[in-house]
Structure 1
């Protein structure tokens, strides 16, 4: 595991996530105290109410995601197998009306590819198993093609990595079996995802061939 934290900016640039380093005393305290999902939800809600800047929110929530995963082994095996038709599945862990957080585990069948999309909210993707190739895009509108996008880069996530997404970040996912651990290439790629409140008027899928975008 590489255990690296990354940020995808609103311009779809993937950069290391900068945050306040935890002291040895804090890490020791974390290791000694069980960290439950209900505490995580409360802590994240407090951050959301006190911080309006999504980048700062991600900097503060990311270490809590890592702490939760280190303390709650049940999450690692709590997922649904990918749907044979769609190639993916979502296992909801928490989604309450009028609560500003959605928590879920997503599983992708090997070689599945997502549409190019944004989330129109901040998001955190923590890799649990398999590998996820993320390709990033940014809007580059012209008078003829107002929804034109152009590629800005790519990054391979491996188990232990966490990817933090700003609301305007655009990406596409490809699930890749983990080398050396999946001899048959048939194990799903699994991630633990946390999202804020989606602005559905701004959440889009992008058609690269036609240079169009559609609300979904």
Structure 2
């Protein structure tokens, strides 16, 4: 399903809204034996070794690429976007007290998300379609402690990966005429630190 760009990109987004390339975004040759269970096991090992978001994301991104090019079936494990809300989520893996959630997410063309952070590190690999990620940062004022401002944007095409630290703030928009499909991976969400932001009212609420 996924048609990779001639040039793929890995983008790392941090709390200040900055983004930079990282790692090796080269598309790997498909492997024969890299399965989801092995991917999860290796992720658990990485979480034991690396304890900051950036180090974890840099170590995990190559495994995500390896999984996607070696497990074609996984790219088809998504649900058609629900027209009543404009999107859908298909959980590939989530387990009580296991520090990972794996999803396939699809959006109808033209749909947008709220502006939010995840309260956890996360990786999004675009499988199909095109997606705009707008990147924001906190810009508090004495009378507006939850004020944010737009910093930049990144356009994701199939084969691109964006890695987000727990405090990175973004919003997404599905571009083009076809639904977008992405592989999403998240660590343990700190719900008391996960927010949805309103740039018009300069407020934030739990998300």
Q: Same fold (TM over 0.5)?
A: yes
In structure 2, relative to structure 1, the CA distance for the partners of 1:140 and 1:57 (3 Å cut) is: same
Unaligned runs of 5+ in 1: 178-184
Residue in 1 aligned with 2:205? 214
TM-score, structure 1 as length reference:
0.89
Separation in 1, partners of 2:174, 2:22 = 23
Alignment partner of 2:192 out of 198, 201, 205: 201
How many matched pairs? 201
Residue in 2 aligned with 1:46? 45
* Matched-pair contact (CA < 8 Å) for 2:123–2:186: yes
User: What is the aligned-residue RMSD (CA, Å)?
Assistant: 1.5
Separation in 1, partners of 2:142, 2:31 = 58
Question: Displaced runs of 4+ in structure 1, greater than 3 A?
Answer: 30-33
Separation in 1, partners of 2:112, 2:205 = 18
Residue in 2 aligned with 1:73? 72
Bigger radius of gyration: 1
Deviation at 1:136, TM superposition (A): 0.5
Deviations 1:189-212 (A, max 9, x none): 000000000000010000111110
2:47 aligned with 1:14:
no
Deviation at 1:77, TM superposition (A): 1.1
Deviation at 1:10, TM superposition (A): 2.1
Residue in 2 aligned with 1:134? 133
Residue in 2 aligned with 1:118? 117
